[in-house]
Amino acid sequence: MAICPNCGALNQAGSTTCVQCGKPMEVIPSWLELLLARYGETMPTFEGILVKRAPSIAPTEPFTAQRASSSTAQLSTSTELEDEKLLNEIEKLKRSIKEQPAETQQPEETTVSAALPTASKGVDDWLAELRALQEKAALDSTPAMPSEAGALEAAQQAPYEVLPGEEDSSPSPEFLGETTPSESPGITQAGPPAPSIEERLGMLVTPPDTAESVPENSAPEWLRELGLVQPEQPPAPSSGDSVQASETLGPSPVAEADITGEPSGSPPDEEIPDWLKRLIAISSQIPESPPPSEVAEPMQALAHEEAETPPVAEPTPGEPLPDWLRELEAIQTTQLSTTMPPEGEEITPPRFEERATISAEEIFIPPLPKVEEGTVPTAQQEEPSPTVGEEHPAEWLAELEELIERPPTSQPTPFPVEEEVPDWLRELAAEKPEAKTEPQATVAQETPQPEPAELPEWISQLRPTERIAEMPPAEPIATPLEETAPTSGQDVIETLRARLGIPQVPDVEGAEMFHEIVSEPAETTLTPVLEEVEPTPQRNSITVIIWALVFAAILLGIAILSLALLARIQEMLGEVAFQHFLNTPAAAGLVASLEQFRKPITAIRQGDVVLLSIDYTPATAAEMQPLASVVLHDLLERRARVLTVSLQPEGAPLAQRLLDETDRPFPYGKHTLNLGYLPGEAIGVRSLARLPDRQLYAPIGDACQSLGECPGWHDIRGIENVALFIAIADSGDSVRWWIEQLPVLSPNELPLLAAVSAAALPTVRPYLIPASAAPSRLSGLIGGMMATAAYEVYSGRPGRALNMVAAQSAAHLGLVAVALAGIFAGIRSRTGHC
Amino acid sequence: MSAETIIAAILTFMIWSYVLGDNPAFRIAEHLLVGTAAGYVVIVAWFHVIQPALHEMWSQPSLATALPFVLCALLVVRKWPSMRPWAAASLALLVGVGSALAIGGTLFGTLWSQVLATASLSLNPADFSGSQMFLTSNFFWQNLAILIGTIGTFCYFAFRVRPGGPLRDLRAALIRFWSGIGLWMIMMTLGAFFANAAMSRFTLLIDRVQWLLGIFGLR
Amino acid sequence: MLGRLVSVSVAMGVGLLVLADYFVADVQLDALANRLIYIASIVAAFALFLGLANLTRFHLNRVRARSPERPYSLILLIALTASITLGFVSGGPTSQWMQYLFENVLSPMQAALYSLLAFFTVTATYRAFRVHNVESALFVIFAVVVLLGQTPVGALLWEELPTIKDWIFDVPVLAGTRGILLGVALGTLATGIRVLLGVDRPYVDETGRDTHGHLP
């Protein structure tokens, strides 16, 4: 049973309006309070309006994975980042409307930051406040209605359709579409001088004629920017318009899902999606390490949310409550017995209600900077994120405004059903003739109830033992599923979701995952990460020794096996077999590419300058060094002068290593020079325009520090004096930079060759174009160990590549065998023979 | 066996120990590698790029020779927020030059040449050995396959936007057709890429194994 | 505001000058563009020092914070300090000590690290070579043919395999890679033009701006 905050009459549990006085029994939704608080607005005092529906706080509500999924699915990092984005948008918005001065701060009980415990506020504090509010609610026989109710009732004039029997489940965002002429009960203003939330929302939904009578500055700037202040609210929802809106603003999973909805005009019960609640939770300065009581709250909130989902099964009416809940119930009954019947477990401090509503997401939200208790957070406290959308907030808000002017949609919404609704809105709903409150029991009969879930052990351990007992227990009340269309408030949410790219995530998998997580024992869940990560030094050393021994044994075995097979492998696949292979038609392609590559090299005359780019690192030197070596030898044997450069910092010493190898017959300085590292990738290529000024990587005395200073190289005045360019690269990008930038450096037809790794070969292959087809400097391309081995054979200098042919062939065979095993395993797994 | 060879062999084993899972030996070697490589790269950059430029500035002091170091100094003062807008000038120069080189290089080095190469693939029967023989020419079918494959792959990457307008269904069907071909071509290409990458990595492994066998006298 | 204007002007002006060098054959413009490119190359090299500073700061923070990774960060810092000190003391990268460091520490570790990829290639082969549809079948077939066709083993198994491998590289792989290159080229063009026109300003790091430095 529920007690009316206005007249104290006894009502059915879950009733949204009083059967006696017709006043609503709800409070301001937490998200609205929080939103106002974020904008520095003050909130009206609602000390007397403390009646809440039981399901919101019912700790005995079933906690099943299905409902928890909506929380869990939003736990991903991306979602948190999106929350931050949205927060930053709000911060920006606030900054943009800074001209509207922040109004007088409300008493601590009415501000959002006070309503939510901060990090400095432990469980005792907020529970004490909770108790105080509870007692206050119990003693308040005639709760004061805020004076803004007049403005709100004026808002009831707006056309609005409510299906019979659905008004119970049609709370908050209905205020966007529901307007009624003011019939203020004449309650004196008890709130602050600043315009309260009811006034703003009244203005927001006032019809054109009424809105004109309201001073323009009476509507807060933020509401007008949000587009909530409308001269005229559209009447019945239209699914077509909704679809159009969703298409206009980009794909929205919700909007798409709503297309098939019924054309019902009834508003939803809950119009605040989870992500927005989580956003609100974030914006209310969640303590970095929540007090133990907050661990229990999320469970209640989850239980509350569970009731809003398609229930799994009918709950057993006589299902026993947990002990601690029974204690709670007993204490609550005793406390309230002086002012209300024993069934009045639905009286709840609004603060707790807010916490219970939003805390499901809070436990997973990264902590935000703490804010002093009782203060309203300001936009300056948070750094705006650089990852917000491209447009200024005002632009998307303008789009929002346009969207809100469209008729609300009428599709079913997947959002939760129950949500806090301000009393004044409940009152509006109650005054409508068709908005008759259906008994909650009827709804409960029609709706199957979810199964109660077991609380994990570690959560039970964290449950407050004494203070929590003062919280009002609530019986599980069935809540009807949301089947009605979203109103214009829904559009706001959908627009926000679409604009900010917040996806609507599926529920079930996330719920299962969440259930697994919370079901884990406390030892694993709550163990600090540092302790898990840091192994003991003793274990480390033992592990290292064991691993080293095992690894050495494995390697030794491989080596012995290889030795045993080496002779046979070498005979079958070694040098001789490869040379024989080169003489077969099967090697025609390899030989042709090699001959094409060598053609410009064989055309080199004595003394010609060849620029060799060593674009690889020690990581790939095993593959590239033999290739570079055989090319370099080929060039030097034709009496060419070779300059080396590198686009990699570690390429310069590798080039020096190459030149040192050929130093005996072809001395460094006379036949070869290393011009070192060219920083900046493509920029480095173009920096070769100052070729004579290039410093040598290994200067030869003081007389030969740069290319232009070295004797025997004075004829090199620029890149135009280079006869051939060869890129020896382990990546396609390096070759591409040369291909793209070299023609600018050298307008004459400087031929370009590329010797690349096998991995880079396919990416460079498209640049090998016949000269008749397109202008391309690349006139030859080879790559991979086999091409290197072939080059060694053709140049008559057998080297490392030829030695590796056998092993390479064997490795390829082995890999193909593994591939076939994988294919076979895949077939077996598909046919069920696992 | 020399000391340096033993050091190199031990470090190689430490890196390879990752095959058995992440372990302290690998992590020690990993951090040693990062530290050494970073230090070495900086030394190369200093002695081979910065020092010659400084020498040039001292020997021929002018705005042109000093400007690079003014910009480098701006990079350093980027640490202070008040200087950040000014410090962005050096990055702006880097980005501006890089963008210009990317545009020019891509336009003339890649886009133009690749488009021309694709457009020059002849499907004209006159270019083959007689008007009745082109269907039997391998080059004709090869050119056709390259043309279709290139267009299909390009469509797969470039036209993912849902078409609009009166003929949107027709356009969507066409794009779906070409994208399907493109997907097949991409899978073929990726298969070849994978095989060649495997070849490269096996070359590196074989080289290391042969080196180890050599230093232990097993080869 | 003025600083931002300067940086945008620098990027646009310098970029357009260098780009004009591709289209206009003018000696003075060529010299100016080459000078700008040279300046940019020095700034790019200096950026390596900033990277080094960031690396050092990160690991110093880990050491100070007594993170579990502290010993490894210490090793990194010691190696970094040692190599830099050695480089400056011994006289540069061509000195004997730096060559020793390069040949016996840097080279073997980098080579071993990359050779490690072969092991993962094997496991990836086993896991990825599952034929589920036409696309995966194409992937598997082409990979196996290229693997066998690259070595003489392929010719031993079937002498046409190397020829088929060559055809694969000359026709389907060429077409696929060319299509990818065209797409990448168009993307690069679009990105570069946006930067040169000041639409994207990745060099601007202003509070409250998005990462691409879009104008509000």
Q: What is the DSSP string of B101-161?
A: HHHHHIIIIIIHHHHHHHHT----GGGSS-TTTGGG-HHHHHHHHHHHHHHHHHHHHH--S
Identify all chain A residues contacting B113, using CB atoms and an 8 Å cutoff.
Answer: 767, 769, 774-776
Percentage of chain A exceeding pLDDT 90 = 16
Q: Which helix (H) or strand (E) holds A11?
A: strand A10-11
C111 has pLDDT over 60:
yes
Contact yes or no for A384 and C154 at CB 8 A: no
Q: How far is the C-alpha of C117 from the C-alpha of A240, rounded, in Å?
A: 55
CB pairs under 8 A between A and B: 161
C-beta of residue A170 within 8 angstroms of C-beta of residue A269: yes
Contact yes or no for A586 and C37 at CB 8 A: no
**Interface with C, mutate which of A809, A828, A830 (most C CBs under 10 A):** A809
Tally Cβ neighbours within 10 Å of residue C191. Answer: 17
Contact yes or no for B44 and A653 at CB 8 A: yes
Q: Which residues 672-711 of A are in CB contact (within 8 Å) with C? A: 678-680, 683-684, 686-687, 689-690, 697-698
Nearest-CB residue to A619 (from C114, C121, C132): C114
C-beta of residue A779 within 8 angstroms of C-beta of residue A764: no
C-beta of residue A741 within 8 angstroms of C-beta of residue A681: no
More confident position, A151 or A824: A824
Identify all chain A residues contacting C128, using CB atoms and an 8 Å cutoff.
Answer: 822
Give the SS3 label for residue A750: coil
A349 has pLDDT over 60:
no
Residue A158 confidence (pLDDT) = 36
Identify all chain C residues contacting A765, using CB atoms and an 8 Å cutoff.
Answer: 169, 173-174, 177
Residue whose C-alpha is closest to residue A262's, from A470, A413, A122, A129: A413
**Interface with C, mutate which of A532, A756, A802, A812 (most C CBs under 10 A):** A812
Residue A228 confidence (pLDDT) = 42
Nearest CA in chain A to B41: A649
Q: Which residues 4-63 of C are in CB contact (within 8 Å) with A? A: 21-22, 34, 37-38, 40-42, 44-45, 48
Give the SS3 label for residue A212: helix
Least confident of A531-535, A743-747, C202-206: A531-535
For the entire predicted model, the pTM comes to 0.59
Q: Which helix (H) or strand (E) holds A551?
A: helix A537-573
Q: Which residues 16-35 of A are in CB contact (within 8 Å) with C? A: none
Identity of residue A210:
T
More confident position, A372 or A704: A704
Subunits that touch chain B (at least 3 Cβ pairs < 8 angstroms)? A, C
Q: Which residues 11-30 of B are in CB contact (within 8 Å) with A? A: 13, 16-17, 19-20, 23-25
Q: How far is the C-alpha of A294 from the C-alpha of A414, rounded, in Å?
A: 27
Residue A34 confidence (pLDDT) = 57
Percentage of chain A exceeding pLDDT 70 = 34
A617 has pLDDT over 50:
yes
Residue B174 confidence (pLDDT) = 84
pLDDT tens-digit readout, A708-753: 888 888 888 888 889 999 999 999 999 999 999 988 887 777 889 9
Identify all chain C residues contacting A389, using CB atoms and an 8 Å cutoff.
Answer: 210
Distance from CA of residue A120 to its chain's centroid? 29
Tally Cβ neighbours within 10 Å of residue A40. Answer: 20
Question: In sequence order, which residues have a C-beta less than 8 Å from that of residue A390 and are 6 or more positions away?
Answer: C210, C212, C214
Q: What is the DSSP string of A463-490?
A: S-SSGGGGSPP------PPP-S---HHH
Least confident of A102-106, A727-731, B81-85, C88-92: A102-106
Contact yes or no for C108 and B8 at CB 8 A: yes
- Assign residue A676 a region: left if phi > 0, alpha if psi is -120 to 50, beta otherwise? left
Q: How far is C117 from chain B (nearest CA, A)?
A: 6
Buried b vs exposed e over A805-822: b needs ≥16 C-beta within 10 Å? Answer: bbbbbbbbbebbebbeeb
- Among A109-113, A619-623, B74-78, the range of highest mean pLDDT: A619-623
C211 has pLDDT over 50:
no
Q: How far is B13 from chain C (nearest CA, A)?
A: 8
Residue A46 confidence (pLDDT) = 40
Residue A348 confidence (pLDDT) = 39
Confidence band (pLDDT; 50, 70, 90) for A82? low
pLDDT tens-digit readout, A266-288: 334 444 555 555 555 554 444 44
Q: How far is A397 from chain C (nearest CA, A)?
A: 14
How large is the C-alpha radius of gyration of chain B? Answer: 28
More confident position, C209 or A388: C209
Report the DSSP beta bridge partners of residue A612: A644, A726
- Chain A touched by C135 (CB under 8 Å): no
Contact yes or no for A808 and C151 at CB 8 A: yes
Residue A81 confidence (pLDDT) = 57
Residue C208 confidence (pLDDT) = 42
Identify all chain C residues contacting B9, using CB atoms and an 8 Å cutoff.
Answer: 108
C-beta of residue C7 within 8 angstroms of C-beta of residue B85: yes
Contact yes or no for B30 and C106 at CB 8 A: no
Q: At what angle do helices A197-205 and A30-38 cross, to 10 degrees?
A: 100
Least confident of A789-793, A806-810, B123-127, B192-196: B123-127
Least confident of A65-69, A619-623, A641-645: A65-69
Residue B32 confidence (pLDDT) = 94
Identify all chain C residues contacting B41, using CB atoms and an 8 Å cutoff.
Answer: 48
Chunked mean pLDDT (size 10), chain B, 219 residues? 87 90 91 94 92 89 88 85 80 92 92 90 75 72 90 80 75 85 92 94 91 81
Tally Cβ neighbours within 10 Å of residue A456. Answer: 19
Residue A188 confidence (pLDDT) = 35
Distance from CA of residue A66 to its chain's centroid? 22
Residue A515 confidence (pLDDT) = 67
Identify all chain C residues contacting B54, using CB atoms and an 8 Å cutoff.
Answer: none
Q: How far is B46 from chain A (nearest CA, A)?
A: 11
SS3 of chain C: the string is CHHHHHHHHHHHHHHHHHHHHHHCCCHHHHHHHHHHHHHHHHHHHHHHHHHHHHHHHHHHHHHHCCCCCHHHHHHHHHHHHHHHHHHHHHCCCCCHHHHHHHHHHHHHHHHHHHHHHHHHHHHHHHHHCCCCCHHHHHHHHHHHHHHHHCCHHHHHHCCCHHHHHHHHHHCHHHHHHHHHHHHHHHHHHHHHHHHHCCCCCCCCCCCCCCCCCCCC
C-beta of residue B37 within 8 angstroms of C-beta of residue C108: no
Nearest-CB residue to C147 (from B7, B198, B204): B198
A643 has pLDDT over 90:
yes
Contact yes or no for C163 and A588 at CB 8 A: yes
Nearest-CB residue to A821 (from C48, C126, C211): C126
Residue A39 confidence (pLDDT) = 52
Q: Across all residues in chain A, what is the average pLDDT?
A: 60
Residue A131 confidence (pLDDT) = 59
pLDDT tens-digit readout, A479-495: 343 433 444 455 555 65
- The answer, yes or no, to whether ipTM is higher than 0.85 is yes
A587 has pLDDT over 80:
yes
Q: How far is B215 from chain C (nearest CA, A)?
A: 13
Residue A442 confidence (pLDDT) = 42
Q: How far is the C-alpha of A612 from the C-alpha of A604, rounded, in Å?
A: 14
A647 has pLDDT over 90:
yes
Nearest-CB residue to C126 (from A392, A680, A818): A818
A167 has pLDDT over 60:
no
User: Which residue do the tokens 């004797």 mark?
Assistant: A711
Identify all chain B residues contacting A537, using CB atoms and an 8 Å cutoff.
Answer: none
Question: In sequence order, which residues have a C-beta less than 8 Å from that of residue A115 and are 6 or more positions away?
Answer: A30, A33, A109, A284, A350, A351, A354, A355
pLDDT tens-digit readout, A750-783: 889 999 999 999 999 999 988 777 777 799 999 9
Identify all chain A residues contacting C100, using CB atoms and an 8 Å cutoff.
Answer: none
pLDDT tens-digit readout, A191-243: 344 444 445 444 444 343 433 333 434 444 444 444 444 433 433 333 334 33
A432 has pLDDT over 60:
no
- Chain C touched by A821 (CB under 8 Å): yes
Subunits that touch chain C (at least 3 Cβ pairs < 8 angstroms)? A, B
DSSP A408: P
Nearest-CB residue to A689 (from C34, C102, C207): C34
At residue A429, φ and ψ (nearest 5 deg) are -65, -35
Question: In sequence order, which residues have a C-beta less than 8 Å from that of residue A649 and are 6 or more positions away?
Answer: A677, A679, B40, B41, B44, B45, C48
